[in-house]
A = this chain, B = another copy of it.
């Protein structure tokens, strides 16, 4: 038996940050990530990034992750579990309301899964009280900064980016074989209708062979830098 890490070893709220003005909520998913990454990849990416943001910004409170999202486009692979968009909306909305009532008016939704589209609507309707991070430009800029040459669109799922973050944050969860798992499928216009299975048999769309732990580390660092613009707007001094 091994209970060594059922959750983040330290969440910032136990360190006196419960009265922060801004909280960080990682939102992930439970969905296939090819033969080499775990189903929890998106949650791990979101949690690792949120931890980095909390480390760099001592005034921010780190919350535990929401571990299920909207992953219906991966439903044809075993292991994927989804909740509906209204349910995810209710969950994040309730967390924000509870925080607000307790004195934390601002919430950053740190999203690890592109399919959680409804989060954009929730943040958009918050009247300036929420941010959704990272945005597409933040990911692209951080890729470059970390020495990746792949793009969001081509390296979209279980590719260089996600594998690099896992190699950095949870190398024990990356299975061997990722070096030979590259698969590309540039135009995936029908994905919402057909699911991703039309475009990949393995579940990979991207180039995991290019992944390194260093790139994962540098990507997170670059995102931390990019985050400062969000924070300045969300909670101006």
Contact = CB atoms under 8 A, between A and B. Distances in A.
A194 interface: yes
A11 interface: yes
Nearest to A106: B193
A126 B47 CA distance: 29
A184 interface: no
Chain B CB within 10 Å — which of A10, A84, A187, A193 has the most?
Answer: A193
A68 B94 CA distance: 10
The contact size tier of chain A is 35 or more
A204 B218 CA distance: 36
Interface of A: 1-11, 13-14, 18-19, 30, 38-40, 43-44, 47-48, 51-52, 55, 63-68, 70, 72-73, 75, 78-87, 89-91, 94-95, 98-99, 101-102, 115-118, 120-128, 130-132, 135, 137-138, 168-170, 172-173, 187, 189-190, 192-195, 198, 220, 229-230, 233-234
